[in-house]
Amino acid sequence: MRLLEIVIIAVGLSMDALAISIASGGAYKQLHIRHAFRIAAFFGGFQALMPIIGYMAGLSLKDYISHYDHWVIFGILTVIGAKMIYEALKIEQAERRGDITSMMVLFVLSAATSLDALAVGVTLPLMTSSVGEAAVIIGIVTFVLCFVGVYIGSRMGHFFETKMEVIGGLALIAIGTKILTEHLAN
């Protein structure tokens, strides 16, 4: 897997967390760097950890699905992408997620938004041999986007959050389609 593909997957996976970060930025009356850092660290950390857990599960499946791995990758990325687009179109989704200032809510939201990364991690043994590199890139991209997202949210509110999740979903579907078409062409 090329670096660009990992970065695109990372951006796609981080869109749920970015949408919550944007919504959270609007919730702070006085935003401090520690607020943005804490939100970004939780989301980035979980997004980095979950693909590793998924990768470990995927290793045990690799031998069984290696003949149709391209279909598995395509299916998982398409389902995750479609789910993200569907959720983005729900009205007031971020407002129902709770008070982001609570550490427990932040923990739960980080875990919930990184479940997609867990599922993608299952496909990593089929796409790359360097899961550590992929996990670090996913975590860093999520951290940076969420950190910036908190500040965007403090300035612009909820204007961008739905669009970001749709773009992320489309990016995952595009990567899955690219992998499938490349494999079928060979």
Q: How would you class 2 by CB atoms within 10 Å of its CB: exposed for 0-12, middle for 13-18, buried for 19 or more?
A: exposed
pTM of the predicted model as reported, rounded to 2 decimal places: 0.72
pLDDT of residue 86: 79
Check: CB of residue 145 under 8 Å from CB of residue 11.
yes
Of 159, 161, 166, which is closest to residue 85 (Cα–Cα)?
166
pLDDT of residue 91: 46
pLDDT of residue 143: 97
- The full length of the chain comes to 186
| Run of H or E including 41 | helix 33-65
- 20 to 62, 91, 96, 115: CA distances (angstroms): 34, 14, 11, 15
pLDDT of residue 159: 60
Complete domains list, the chain, with CATH: 3-185 (1.20.1250)
pLDDT of residue 24: 77
Q: How would you class 169 by CB atoms within 10 Å of its CB: exposed for 0-12, middle for 13-18, buried for 19 or more?
A: buried
Please identify every stretch of the chain with a pLDDT value under 50, giving residue numbers as ranges.
91-97
Residue pLDDT, tens place only, 103-129 = 887 888 788 778 788 888 887 776 777
